[in-house]
Amino acid sequence: MTRYGMAIDLKRCIGCHTCAIACKVANNMPENMNYSWVETVGGDAIDTASGTFPQCTMSYHPMQCQHCESPACMANCSSGATQQREDGIVWIDYELCIGCGSCVEACPYDGVRTTITEEPSYYLDMQVGEADAPPHKVSTTEKCNFCYNLIDRGEVPACMQLCPGRARYWGDLDDPESEISKAIEGREYVFMNEDAGTKPKVYYLQ
């Protein structure tokens, strides 16, 4: 059985935000909504170094849903809308979602979900990205779904497609020959908020 996961090499991430832009376009995202973004570590603002000159440092930390093996969001979903596929991808059925926000409160990863409370507005007056991207509806909560529409037709998530630093790796964690298995072999890595016990499947390579 396939068990999908993603690895992000923090040494290769250059903070260009291409992953976030690719995700936003592919999913025809409304204004002020993102499934994926890149945080600047230590700085007071985006792309701002920490420390005192000349001893300044700057690094980046990409953020998104962690697609946990034991997702707290699914356990606390009041309508059964948050579900997990057999391949491990955690997704939201927007026909069942009522936008109650219980999944937002349960998730130990701040900001990876957005509840739409009013009619979405867009930068363009036409739809962009993938024709089968999930819809954006009032009174629903959204998040990264690992681009399952792309995965199901043999492609990779949009955030990986244009990464100039090749900082992301994708594949079946149970297949030793997969790209992600080879990427994490012999490397040090960390998980976000591992103490929460949700068993995230996004590996941050050190």
pLDDT in tens, 84-116: 999 999 999 999 999 999 999 999 999 999 999
CATH number at residue 89: 3.30.70.20
Tell me how far apart the alpha carbons of residues 168 and 205 are, in angstroms, rounded to a whole number. 10
Tell me how far apart the alpha carbons of residues 26 and 24 are, in angstroms, rounded to a whole number. 6
Of 176 and 43, more confident: 176
pLDDT in tens, 43-57: 778 888 888 888 888
- The pLDDT, as a whole number, for residue 46 is 87
Q: What is the average pLDDT across 116-121? A: 95
Task: Give the mean pLDDT of the chain.
Answer: 95
Examine the pLDDT at 119 and tell me if it is beyond 90: yes
Position 38 confidence tier, pLDDT thresholds 50, 70, 90: very high
Tell me how far apart the alpha carbons of residues 28 and 58 are, in angstroms, rounded to a whole number. 31
- The pLDDT, as a whole number, for residue 169 is 98
Examine the pLDDT at 135 and tell me if it is beyond 80: yes
Domain interval for residue 15: 4-205
Percent of the chain, pLDDT > 90? 88
- The pLDDT, as a whole number, for residue 43 is 74
pLDDT in tens, 2-15: 999 999 999 999 99
Give the HSE-up count for residue 196: Cα atoms under 13 Å, Cβ half-sphere.
19
Number of structural domains (the chain) is: 1
Q: Is the pTM of this model over 0.75?
A: yes
Question: What sign has the CA pseudo-torsion 121, 123, 127, 131?
Answer: negative
- The H or E element that residue 106 is part of is helix 102-106
